Every structure is written in C-alpha cells, then in structure tokens.
Amino acid sequence: MIRNGLILLDLIKGTNVRSTKRFLDDSQYWEGDKLKEYQFNKLRDLLAEVTVSVPFYRDLYRKQGVKEISNKQALGDLSVVDRKMTMEAGERLLSKKINLKKCKIGRTGGTTGPPLRLFRDQETRSFSLAAYYRFYDWMGIEPGMPEVELWGSTEIRNQKLEIRNQKSPRTAHLVPRTSRYPVSGIRNLMVNQINNFRSYNAFSFNDEYLEEVVKKLLRFRPKLIRGYLSAILLLADYIKRNNIRGIQPIAVSSTSETLFPEYRRMIEEVFQAPLFDQYGCGECNSIAFECKEHHGMHIVMEHCILEADEKDNLIVTNLDNRSQPFIRYKTGDSGTIDQAPCACGYATPRLTALHGRANENIILKDHVSVNGIFFANLMDEIGFIGNQKMLRFQIIQDKVGEITFRVEVKKELPEVDLMKLKDAFAPFFNNVIIKQHAFLDPGPSGKFRYLISRL
C-alpha cells in the first residue's frame, strides 16, 4: 500500500513525505489569498537565507542592491537565472550550510542544455514526492492499486544496450530520479512489492518487447499506467494494432514530453481512461499537475512559484531547496499560465498550455516561427494521427525554410501518402526530406523530442 511505502521511504531516505502529504491534503482547499501568503513567507525566508549562505545569489543580489523582498510583486525585480549561469556558478550555487548526507545527488536530463549536477535536500524531496502523491488522489488512484511505470534511466548507461535487445521485460533494476520511489536494489524491490508496482524499460520498446509487456499487463491488470508520453503512445499503438482487450486502467499519466491534443485523444480511446498530464523539471520536480477537469495543470504553489514572461518562457522558483537554490530559473520550456478559477475548486493558477522547448521552434520559409502544435495539427488535418500509418514524427531543422521529417512507421508509406505529406508541407517549406523509420530512438535522455532545431 502507498501508506506502507511512504513509511518505508521516509525511513530509508530520511524524508518527511507522510507529514508533508497531510499538509498538502489540507492546503489544496485553501483560498487563493492564504496560499499566496504562505508562498510569500517561504520566498522571503528563502531569500534571507541565500543572500547569506549561497555565494552565487549573495553576489548576484548584492550587485542588484537586494537585501530582502517586501512583497511578491518585487520578485519580478530579481534577475532571471538560466542554465548557462548555473553551470558557470558550479559549487558557488551550493549553500555553505549544505548537509550532503541529507541530499540526493542527481543531474538534469540534458534536453534543455548541458546536464547540470543537482543536489536535492530533504525538504525539496519531501514536498516534491508529497505533491506527486496528492496527484494520485486527483486521478482516483487509491492505496494498493496496481501501477505500471514505462520509463528509462539515464543512470544505467552500460545496461541500456543489453536491455534494449532483450525480449522478456523485467522490473527495472534501477528506478530513475523522478520515479515514484527513488530507492534502488533490494530496498527498491521491497517498496515495489508492497505498493503493487511494476516498471518496464521504455528504452526497449519494440514489438517483441511490447508483446511480453502486454502479457504481463494482462495478468497484472494495472489501474494506473504512467511514464514517458512516447512510451505510452508505443504501447497504445501496439494494443490498437493487435486488437487487444483487457488492459483497463482507471487513469493514464504522461510526462516529460509535449502532449498534443491528438495524442491525448488516441491514448484515451485505446485505454478508455482519462489521461492526466504533469509538468516538472530536475531543478524543481513537481511543478504542476492536471486535475479531473482537464483544463490545465495546477501549479503546486506550496512548493514553487511559476511565472511566464512576455515570450511565454517559463521561470520557476523552488521554494524548498536551500542546499542548491533555483530562484527565477528559466526552465527552457514555454507555456501559458491561466489565473482564472478552475471548476474543480482548487484556487491555484493553471499551466494551460505547454508549448515545448522554448529554444526549439521551427522557422518556416517566410521566417514565421512555429512550435510542435503546428505540426501535430497539420498531421491531424491530413489524417496521419491515430490511423496506424504513423505513430510519431520528428522535425529536424538545419536551415531556415527547410526540414527533415522523420516518421515512425510499421511499414513503408505508399507513394500516395508520401505525396500527401509533401503537398501539406509545400506551402510552408522550400525543401522537405522525408525519412521513414521502424523506430525513432528517444536518445540518451529517454525524452522524445518532436522538434530539433540546429539553427
């Protein structure tokens, strides 16, 4: 059961997930003003700490003449920090009071820039995980319900090739940093068994591997299927192509990749269950989660502050990690934040549109910049979404007005479909190279990138 797993997790990792979860179960019903007051108090205390204990922020804010913050609006006066600045800061980003024994050391996935080494202290891990368990409540997932994770781990470089070639799936030997229970080895297996949890390696997803995964899912009967969006799409496509019945979760949850409306429809159709999206990054983890109304993802105000600038670049402040603070940190993603009330009753703002990586738009021949939704809509209009001809696509751009369109297909597209694609692209690009693949590898990070701009 989840409760038993939390007890074990807290004992092993020295976290306070159980007590934090109880707090979040109460705070989700607070009115907006109370949440803002709580959030501001945490921000004020964080700034008071970092200006003394963290050399990077001490020097940065000294140049700005910042000693304290008097109101939340003043947050916008603080400098925005990006990946390059934090990489250059190195150990100066760490607090002088850091207790390494209470930190979990990891790194970012590298999809928005060079990987950054991360130090996550007890408080930030407790809030991140507790917010995630609250998300389970929103999805209708109760303690003890069987759950399946489709993931891959950047920590198992030497294991990756071996696993990709194996036919029979096994529970992941190592659970990645954003996994539900970030413990390894025998302890991980103990927690997984107690919580009715199984994990399968998304790096291995071909038809042979999926055949075995599906057999195990039919026996295990998961009530929640979660993981990389691309892995869930591959599983859904396999189930649809093979007319498989009997895998009926209560909910499906995707993460790490942009969820286009067309893909949501396909997944919900196959599993006959609602899909819940979520958003986070390595520097803050649990940032926003979708509720039952499915009109955006509620920002976890108790844990972070999320802003969008005039260009929709997302900027996050982690309110809990004082060992390696990230204050007004540009995530590399872009999105839209809606302050309007949600029908679910929660008072927090919602991330209503996630446009993908801010630095990975594609430039058309008339120099107009478009994001991934443009291509998803285009593919849907010409009938290539959910028709079993094409599962995923990837756009690579090296020159303005020109692209390579990589498409994942089960069998080669006939000439008539290739001409349909070329005709659809012709008004927007001077040159399009179409390449067909049996499998599009997500790469070392495990996160599939629909757009890759090399401009």
Tracing tokens 């990054």 back to the chain, one arrives at: 281
pLDDT > 90: percent of the chain? 57
Q: Which of 15-19, 171-175, 211-215 has the lowest mean pLDDT?
A: 171-175
Q: Using alpha carbons, select from 107, 122, 112 the residue that is nearest to residue 157.
A: 107
- Which of 148-162, 258-272, 289-303 has the highest mean predicted lDDT (pLDDT)? 289-303
Does residue 406 carry a pLDDT above 60? yes
**Nearest-angstrom CA–CA distance, 397 and 19:** 48
Angle subtended at Cα 362 by Cα 360 and Cα 367, rounded to the nearest 5 degrees: 130
Amino acid at the residue 61: Y
The pLDDT tens digits of the residues spanning 39-96 come to 999 999 999 999 999 999 999 999 988 777 766 667 888 999 998 899 889 899 999 9
List CB contacts of 26: < 8 A, sequence separation 6 or more. Answer: none
**Dihedral of the alpha carbons of 379, 382, 384, 385, in degrees to the nearest 10:** 60
How far is Cα of residue 57 from the mean position of the Cα atoms in its chain?
A: 27
Does residue 355 carry a pLDDT above 80? no
Helix, coil or strand: residue 300? coil
Task: Return the CATH number of the domain spanning residue range 362-453.
Answer: 3.30.300
Helix, coil or strand: residue 74? helix
**Nearest-angstrom CA–CA distance, 183 and 252:** 23
Per-residue confidence (pLDDT) for residue 157, from 0 to 100: 29
Which residues are registered as beta bridge partners of 452?
396
Per-residue confidence (pLDDT) for residue 188, from 0 to 100: 60
Structure tokens, 47? 């700034």
Query: 196 φ, ψ to 5°?
Result: 60, 50
**Nearest-angstrom CA–CA distance, 378 and 405:** 13
- In this prediction the pTM is 0.79
Q: Which of 194-203, 214-223, 318-327 has the lowest mean pLDDT?
A: 194-203
From residue 258, alpha-carbon distances to 132, 278, 408, 451 in Å are 19, 10, 17, 10
Query: If pLDDT is split at 50, 70 and 90, which confidence band does 155 have?
Result: very low
Per-residue confidence (pLDDT) for residue 166, from 0 to 100: 41
**What does the domain layout of the chain look like in residue ranges?**
362-453
Q: Which of 105-119, 246-260, 290-304 has the lowest mean pLDDT?
A: 105-119
